[in-house]
């Protein structure tokens, strides 16, 4: 092993000394810039500017401070990287702010009536304080359950047909109309159900079944798309193995394809239920409102949580505070139900998903 000469050592030392030192911002610098921006934005907000404009001003000041200091210390390349990172993070926080605001408002105002009476009493004969949403809870569960019974078989069979049987132009047309139905306004579904039942039973009819049909119009496209996507993920090798054993196609679909995709389909169905359980517009048209419990979806009006909350808020009565408290509590209960359904969908997806070998 050769020993470096004196000239080589001096050359290496010169190169080391000539190498530029990369300067970076200390870890606390972004937090300091954020503190300054929050202080300025809070001062402006306290001075009379709206909270939304103050939040936007805080974000702009934060981005400007971080980018300016980074450009002076670290150079333009690192400043651009920090600018993009800061803008993306700020956009995420701005998008999250309304959700946090809604949750905080509903929780703070909705807990006032989260008591036993609220869950076990209806509004029959109640004026002012007291009463509950038992009639609305039963109506919501019954109408949503009927909508699920209508939507799941139709949606699953349509998804199976699109993946396993439909070919060419017919499949394209069905897929196109499913996509169109996914984006229709919910009030259109309510008007469709009302017009359908008015042709059969006459104008002015209101019943829970009408609401279930309206919700099923909104649910079916979601179930179809989730079923279709899950069936497409089933490996073709499983189908070919079943065909190699001389299994008929219908039995292969029933015994091989659907069980393999069942976790994803169940997740899609749960999310479809969560999507429609809080709908108000179609139920206003088809079901209406009542103050007492109605357990017969084929006769008479029924109360639901979203419609009950709507009427309690727009027609609070005198004094208005008890009705407003019931409206906020019903809204909080709906949020809890939707969150629970989303958690159930995640648990189903995690628990029953096919395990990969390894």
Domains recognised in the chain with CATH numbers: 10-112 (no CATH), 119-351 (1.10.3720.10)
What are the tens digits of pLDDT across the range 1-29? 455 566 555 555 554 444 455 678 788 88
Task: State the average pLDDT over residues 238-265.
Answer: 88
Distance (Å, whole) CA 142 – CA 136: 10
- Closest residue by Cα to residue 232 from 313, 181, 303, 163: 163
Q: Report if pTM > 0.75.
A: yes
Tokens of 128: 């002012």
Q: How confident is the model at residue 57 (pLDDT cuts 50, 70, 90)?
A: confident
Task: In whole angstroms, give the CA distance from residue 189 to residue 200.
Answer: 17
Mean pLDDT, the chain, whole residue set? 85
In 3D, which of 145, 188, 142, 217 has the Cα closest to residue 285?
188
Q: Which residue has the tokens 């949020």?
A: 335
**Does the pLDDT of residue 315 top 80, yes or no?**
yes
Low-confidence winner among 119-128, 147-156, 300-309 (lowest mean pLDDT): 119-128
Q: What is the mean pLDDT of residues 124-148?
A: 89
Which residue is it, tokens 């039942």?
A: 197
Proportion of the chain above pLDDT 70, given as a percent: 92
Average pLDDT of 115-137?
A: 86
Across 66-80, 87-101, 122-136, 210-224, which has the greatest mean pLDDT?
Answer: 210-224
Q: Per residue, what are the HEC states of the chain? A: CCCCCHHHHHHHHHHHHHCCCCCCCCCCHHHHHHHHHHHHHHHHHHCCCCHHHHHHHHHHHHHHHHHHHHHHHCCHHHHHHHHHHHHHHHHHHHHHHHHHHHHHHHHHHHHHHCCHHHHHCCCCCCCCCCCCCHHHHHHHHHHHHHHHHHHHHHHHHHHHHHHHHCCCHHHHHHHHHHHHHHCCCHHHHHHHHHHHHHHHHCCCCCEHHHHHHHHHHHHHHHHHHHHHHHHHCCCHHHHHHHHHCCCCHHHHHHHHHHHHHHHHHHHHHHHHHHHHCCCCHHHHHHCCCCCCCCCCCCCECCCCHHHHHHHHHHCCCCCCHHHHHHHHHHHHHHHHHHHHHHHHHHHHHHHHCCCCCC
CB-CB contact of 341 with 281 (8 Å): no
Read off the pLDDT of each residue in 235-248 and give the average, rounded to a whole number: 88
| Euclidean distance between CA atoms 244 and 162, whole angstroms | 23
The pLDDT of residue 18 is: 46
pLDDT of residue 223: 92
pLDDT at 17: 47
Q: Please state, in angstroms and rounded to a whole number, the distance separating the CA atoms of residues 6 and 332.
A: 79
Residue 110: closest CA among 323, 289, 329, 350: 329
pLDDT tens digits, residue range 181-204? 888 889 999 999 999 999 988 888
Q: What is the mean pLDDT of residues 36-54?
A: 82
């Amino acid at each position: 092993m050769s020993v470096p000469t004196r000239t080589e050592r001096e050359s290496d030392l010169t190169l080391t000394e000539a190498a530029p030192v990369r300067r970076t911002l200390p870890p606390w610098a972004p937090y300091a810039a954020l503190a300054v921006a929050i202080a300025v934005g809070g001062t402006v907000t306290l001075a009379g500017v709206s909270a939304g404009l103050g939040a936007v001003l805080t974000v702009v000041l934060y981005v400007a401070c971080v980018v300016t200091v980074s450009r002076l210390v670290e150079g333009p390349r690192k400043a651009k990287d920090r600018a993009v990172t800061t803008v993306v993070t700020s956009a995420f926080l701005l998008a999250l702010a309304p959700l946090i605001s809604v949750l905080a408002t509903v929780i703070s105002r909705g807990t006032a009536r989260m008591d036993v009476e609220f869950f076990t009493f209806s509004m029959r004969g109640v004026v002012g304080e007291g009463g509950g949403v038992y009639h609305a809870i039963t109506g919501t569960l019954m109408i949503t359950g009927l909508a699920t019974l209508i939507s799941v078989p139709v949606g699953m069979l349509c998804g199976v047909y699109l993946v396993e049987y439909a070919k060419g132009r017919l499949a394209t047309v069905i897929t196109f109309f499913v996509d169109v139905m996914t984006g229709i306004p919910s009030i259109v579904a309510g008007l469709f159900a009302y017009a359908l039942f008015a042709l059969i039973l006459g104008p002015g009819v209101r019943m829970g079944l009408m609401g279930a049909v309206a919700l099923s119009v909104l649910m079916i496209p979601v179930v179809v798309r989730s079923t279709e996507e899950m069936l497409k993920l089933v490996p073709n090798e499983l189908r070919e193995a079943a065909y190699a054993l001389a299994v008929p196609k219908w039995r292969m679909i029933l015994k091989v394809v659907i069980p393999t995709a069942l976790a994803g389909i169940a997740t899609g169905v749960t999310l479809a239920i969560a999507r429609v359980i809080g709908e108000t517009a179609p139920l206003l048209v088809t079901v209406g409102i009542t103050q007492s419990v109605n357990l017969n979806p084929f006769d008479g009006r029924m109360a639901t949580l979203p419609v009950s909350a709507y009427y309690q808020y727009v027609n609070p009565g005198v004094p208005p505070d008890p009705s407003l408290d019931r409206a906020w509590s019903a809204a909080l209960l709906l949020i809890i139900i939707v969150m629970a359904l989303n958690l159930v969908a995640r648990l189903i997806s995690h628990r029953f998903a096919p395990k990969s070998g390894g």
